[in-house]
């Protein structure tokens, strides 16, 4: 799954990577959590991309009340095209949720060890996402969910699933609102290559979303140790 992530690179870096206008005063975020506003990229019918704020936790368009108990922050890539909560969005309301790293917790008995995972290049990337617009009453709500897939070899010792990170070559097809071939789109939702990613252990500061500082991604001293599992992950 994916329940926390970061976006602390510069606005210029994001604009250059994704070809989209970005506000110059973009705050650095080190602990983005569910229900918060996140930055997503959508493609308009004229082909232009736009960067928009969305609420993380999808509200289905058919919900009677936006405060429904289940506002999924993740959707399984294997079933999103057919699930009632996601199938309309999968058909034509796909997005990229902009990030430059994410967190996962490795369970060892009662202990949960947080890890920070990012691309080996350190560059920002896009999670494959779906978005919805709820407008039955009052102000419309635009929300989103992150698609997940089986873990790659880097992630497997940490968790059995991971967010779908789309390679740059797949982003245009994923964003195209006129693309409706569910089988073809589903083929894009693969585990990102493990060799292009890195992971290291961090402290438990990240466990609380109230902590949103660079200290959240500070490596633990043992992250450079000779532990066999650590060597496997790196």
Q: Which residues are catalytic?
A: 2, 104
Decide: 94 and 129 in contact? Cβ < 8 Å: yes
Q: Find the helix or strand (DSSP H, E) in which 144 lies.
A: strand 141-150
The Cα 205–Cα 81 span in angstroms is: 36
Residue 95 Cα to chain centre, angstroms: 10
CA dist 48 and 60 (Å) reads 25
* CA dist., res. 78 & res. 22, Å (int): 32
Q: Say which DSSP state 1 is in.
A: -
Q: CA-CA distance, 204 to 135, in Å (whole number)? A: 38
Look up residue 232 and give its DSSP letter.
H
Q: How far apart are CA 212 and CA 124, in angstroms?
A: 18
């Amino acid at each position: 799954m994916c329940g926390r992530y970061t976006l602390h690179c510069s606005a210029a870096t994001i604009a250059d990577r994704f070809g989209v206008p970005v506000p110059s005063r973009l705050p650095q975020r080190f602990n983005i959590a569910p229900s918060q506003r996140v930055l997503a990229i959508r493609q308009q019918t004229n082909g232009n991309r736009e960067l928009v704020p969305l609420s993380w936790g999808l509200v289905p368009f058919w919900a009677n009340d936006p405060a429904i108990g289940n506002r999924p922050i993740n959707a399984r890539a294997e079933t999103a095209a057919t699930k009632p909560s996601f199938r309309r969005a999968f058909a034509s309301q796909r997005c990229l949720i902009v990030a430059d790293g994410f967190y996962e917790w490795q369970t060892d008995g009662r202990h949960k060890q947080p890890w920070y995972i990012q691309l080996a290049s350190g560059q920002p990337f896009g999670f494959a996402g779906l978005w919805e617009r709820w407008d039955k009453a009052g102000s419309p709500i635009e929300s989103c969910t992150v698609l997940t897939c089986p873990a790659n070899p880097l992630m497997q010792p940490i968790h059995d699933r991971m967010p779908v990170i789309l390679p740059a070559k797949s982003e245009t097809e994923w964003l195209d609102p006129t693309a409706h071939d569910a089988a073809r789109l589903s083929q894009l939702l693969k585990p990102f290559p493990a060799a292009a990613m890195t992971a290291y252990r961090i402290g438990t500061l990240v466990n609380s979303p109230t902590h949103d500082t660079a200290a959240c991604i500070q490596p633990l001293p043992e992250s450079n140790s000779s532990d066999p599992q650590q060597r496997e992950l790196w």
